[in-house]
Amino acid sequence: MHTATVFAGVDWGSIIAKILIAIVILLITWVLARTVIWAFGKLAARVPALGDTNDDGHSLGATLGQIASLLVWLFGLIAVLQVFDLGEVLTPIQALLTGVMNFLPNLIGAIFVFVIGALLAKVARQLVETALGAVPFHRWLGSSRDGEEGSAGVPNIARTLALVLYALIMIVISIAALQILGISSISDPAQRMLQTIFDAVPNIVAAALMLGLGVVIARFAAGLLGDILEGLGTDRALREIDAVPEGGSAVPWITRVVQVAIVLFFAVMAAQLLNFPVITDVLARVLELGGKVVFGAAVIAAGFFVARLLGRVLSGTTAVIVRWATIVLFVAMGLTFMGIATEIIVLAFGSLVVGAALAAALAFGLGGRDAAGRVLERAQQRLDAPAPAAAGSGAGATPSDAAAPSSPSAASAVSSSGATFSAGPAPAGGPSTTASDSGPSSSAGATGTPATGGSSSVEAAIDPAGTPAAGGDDAPGDPTPPDLPPTETPPADPEGSDGAGSDTATAGSTTPETSSTQAPPTKELPAAKKAAAKKSTTRRAPRKRSGGTT
């Protein structure tokens, strides 16, 4: 009775109806869940991107189908709870579902934009790759490898550019999808990154074009320079000086250096366009150092060329010394221009030069002492030797000047052979002093000045016609006139003058003249000998009498 009273107020009809409704909702939910799983499975089979499997072995389509089926079950259970009016349990679930439903359109829109963008990027990639595939980039870049473009080891410029374009489009689509989702914590940093990349895209494109243009120009310049060098016979000239081995060629190396230098120059410009100061500074330093190295190498090569020429001009040990000295000098100059350890190179070169000079000085000083002594001895002998007497010259020279003795010894020989020395005719009533063969004597002239026979100048007497007097056999250089005998005395001056022409010295006479005064023989002094030798080469000027002729 009591139990019947309890269930009497229950509306069994409504409860049964709600249960039936809940069962129907669950059945519908199960069917929908299975349908969603089947639909995503079919979609994954048709879309390759959804068919990729993860680490668990499930495909992306299967995972998405499972998620969708769970969402269907969630909605079905919420509907069942609403049928039974369970508000306390339904309120949090309803709040969750409200947020999911509000986010679901954004999610669907983001997925749609991403899928459409991926398709667009794929089409653009294929279009660019096909269009650029007809451009012969491998020829422009000077690819020397065999095989078609795109094969193993051969770069494919068209495919690379297409992939770059595809990546840029996907970045744009991804940022747009994130903005549709409305997740600011993810979309805002991604949007700023995209803006930075897009701001740098023009500079990147300009730098890439600049670098590609540099590569093309470098290739063209290298080919042109190679043809010019081959036409000038550079390899042949270098082989003649043994700078290049037989069968080798320096032209490819020269063209390669020029090509690298041009590419580096354009790389510096490209880095400046990218606004990368660090890379620009590094490339500028590399280019500067490369220029110094090239210039230094050119100086060293010129040094070897000059050394080879000098070695051919010279011969023997001198050629070897000059050749190696030239090489060392130019190598030091080249390394100095390169800027590689300048102080060490200068110190080493200076030490080498100073050491060589010191070694040469020591070698000459120690090994050449005898030779240096002989050289100095010969120089001292030349300084101590007397100067040879000069022959008399000038206007008015007579044969008597040439016949006069040229040294004190000759004068002594004349005196000892019995020559008669006369200082000139004495005045009337005056004493006359002569020297016989017994020895030199002195006589007083017109002025009363005694003349010493040993120290006076010996002169040959000449007649008015200028005929030299005969000399003795002992008088060197005194020829005997053919018209006068050796014992005769030339006639006196017709006018009786006592000038220079009246002074006589007769050689070979054995009859001494009479004189009023006989001077004792005197010893000739060295100074007197020198004076006699000096005067013998100079013609004494004739004295002029006050009243007549000379």
Q: Which residue among 354, 373, 391 closes a domain?
A: 354
Instruction: Specify the pLDDT at position 132.
Output: 81
In whole angstroms, what is the distance from residue 227 CA to residue 255 CA? 10
Instruction: Please tell me which residue, 350 or 411, carries the higher pLDDT value.
Output: 350
Instruction: Please tell me which residue, 223 or 412, carries the higher pLDDT value.
Output: 223
Using the predicted structure, report yes or no on whether residue 499 has a pLDDT greater than 70: no
Using the predicted structure, report yes or no on whether residue 509 has a pLDDT greater than 50: no
Q: What is the mean pLDDT of residues 487-505?
A: 43
Residue 149 tokens read as 């473009």
Residue 187 lies in a domain: no
Residue 99 lies in a domain: no
Q: Which residue among 354, 381, 402 closes a domain?
A: 354
Using the predicted structure, report yes or no on whether residue 78 has a pLDDT greater than 60: yes
In whole angstroms, what is the distance from residue 446 CA to residue 345 CA? 90
Instruction: Specify the pLDDT at position 3.
Output: 56
Residue 99's contacts (CB-CB under 8 Å, 6 or more residues apart) are none
Instruction: Specify the pLDDT at position 63.
Output: 81
Confidence of residue 453 (pLDDT cuts 50, 70, 90): very low
Residue 534 lies in a domain: no
**pTM given for the model:** 0.42
Average pLDDT, the chain: 69
Contact predicate 533/406, CB 8 Å = yes
In whole angstroms, what is the distance from residue 362 CA to residue 396 CA? 61
Q: What is the mean pLDDT of residues 77-95?
A: 79
Number of domains in the chain: 2
What is the span of the domain harbouring residue 311? 230-354
pLDDT digits (tens, 9 = 90+) for 125-176: 999 888 887 777 666 655 444 445 544 445 577 888 888 889 888 888 888 8
Residue 380 lies in a domain: no
Residue 154 lies in a domain: no
Confidence of residue 518 (pLDDT cuts 50, 70, 90): very low
Instruction: Please tell me which residue, 336 or 472, carries the higher pLDDT value.
Output: 336
Instruction: Please tell me which residue, 275 or 522, carries the higher pLDDT value.
Output: 275
Identify the weakest region by mean pLDDT among 144-153, 232-241, 341-350, 374-383: 144-153
Instruction: Specify the pLDDT at position 57.
Output: 67
- Of residues 251, 263, 264, 260, the one with CA closest to residue 225: 251
Residue 50 lies in a domain: yes
Confidence of residue 539 (pLDDT cuts 50, 70, 90): very low
Residues pairing with 421 in the sheet: 505
Instruction: Specify the pLDDT at position 383.
Output: 87
Identify the weakest region by mean pLDDT among 233-247, 322-336, 402-416: 402-416
Residue 487 lies in a domain: no
Using the predicted structure, report yes or no on whether residue 6 has a pLDDT greater than 50: yes
Q: Compute, in degrees rounded to 10, the torsion defined by CA atoms 541, 543, 487, 474.
A: -30
In whole angstroms, what is the distance from residue 115 CA to residue 64 CA? 15
H helix or E strand, kind and range, residue 450: strand 450-451
Residue 167 tokens read as 């990546």
Q: Compute, in degrees rounded to 10, the torsion defined by CA atoms 162, 166, 172, 173.
A: 150
Instruction: Specify the pLDDT at position 299.
Output: 87
Identify the weakest region by mean pLDDT among 23-27, 82-86, 425-429: 425-429
pLDDT digits (tens, 9 = 90+) for 31-65: 999 998 888 888 877 777 666 676 666 677 778 88
Residue 386 tokens read as 């007397």
At 475, is the secondary structure helix, strand, or coil? coil
Q: What is the mean pLDDT of residues 476-493?
A: 46
pLDDT digits (tens, 9 = 90+) for 219-274: 888 888 888 888 888 778 777 766 677 777 888 888 888 888 888 888 888 888 88
Helix runs in 47-86, H state only: 60-83
Using the predicted structure, report yes or no on whether residue 296 has a pLDDT greater than 70: yes
Residue 134 lies in a domain: no
Confidence of residue 351 (pLDDT cuts 50, 70, 90): confident
Identify the weakest region by mean pLDDT among 45-49, 166-170, 205-209, 447-451: 447-451
Q: What is the mean pLDDT of residues 302-306?
A: 84
Using the predicted structure, report yes or no on whether residue 485 has a pLDDT greater than 80: no
Altogether, the residues listed in the chain come to a count of 550
Q: Which residue among 85, 100, 116 closes a domain?
A: 85
Using the predicted structure, report yes or no on whether residue 284 has a pLDDT greater than 50: yes
